[in-house]
Each structure stands twice: as structure tokens, then as C-alpha cells.
Amino acid sequence: MGDISTHFNRQEFACRCGCGFAVVDKKLNEVLEDIRDYFAMPLIINSACRCAGYNQKIGGAKGSQHVLGMAADISIMNIHPDRVADYVEEVHKECSTGRYNSFTHIDVRNVVAHWDERS
């Protein structure tokens, strides 16, 4: 049992720079819970909340949804990132997705976008 929802703790969403920013969008949290239930495997949040300084430091997009606490880059144990993106696009049509080699970006911005950054 997590401290903000069934499977997640706020700390998992926290900005990795240590600034303490860890405000997670409720809708994003719900979608992640559904993904976690569907695949029934541990879901790892590689990066969720980012303060502006940290986002810039790691080369994140300007205006990134991560800065708003509305995005998460996730990977699921034993599940190919493509399958995660396919599932989200099929079931959570209101979510945006980004496909990367080792993780899936998911966000809950108002205007849906899908992109592919795999090499």
C-alpha cells in the first residue's frame, strides 16, 4: 500500500534533484494505477515531477509536462515499453504517450500528443 494511492508513494514521483517537488496530478496517478493493475507487475517510475532547474539540467523539453507534475516516464518489469504505450493509447485515449527505447512517457495534458523517440 502506497501513501498516495494503492501502489504508489509520493517519493516515487519526487524530483530527482532533491528539491522536494512531488505534486502528482490526480488523473495521472489514476492512470498509473490502472496500468499497474493491468500488467500486474512492478511499475518503476523513472522520472515524474521535475522542477524547472532539473528539467533544464537533464535536457528536458521546455514546457515539459514533467514540470507541471502531469507526466511520468515509466517502465514495467518484463514488459516491453511498446506494449505499455499500446495499452495506454488503446484504453486511455485522453493520455499522451512518448515511445522511448527503455521507457514509456505518459502525460495528461489537455491536447493529446503521441511521439516516437526510439532509435
Q: 3-state class of 35 per DSSP?
A: helix
- Rounded Cα–Cα distance for residues 65 and 106 (Å): 9
Helical spans, DSSP H, in 17-106: 26-39, 52-57, 81-91
Residue 101 C-beta: closest distance to Zn ion, Å: 13
Of the residues 19, 22, 52, 68, which one makes contact with Zn ion according to CB under 5 A: 19
The reply on whether position 103 binds Zn ion by CB under 5 A is no
**Closer residue to Zn ion (CB): 36 or 107:** 107
Q: H/E element holding 116?
A: strand 114-116
The window from 4-12, 25-33, 47-55, 84-92 that contacts Zn ion (CB under 5 A) reads 47-55
Q: Binding pattern to Zn ion, positions 48-77, x when CB under 5 A? A: ---x--x----------------x-x----
The burial class, CB within 10 Å (0-12 / 13-18 / 19+), for 105 is buried
Residues of this chain that bind Zn ion (CB under 5 A):
15, 17, 19, 51, 54, 71, 73, 105
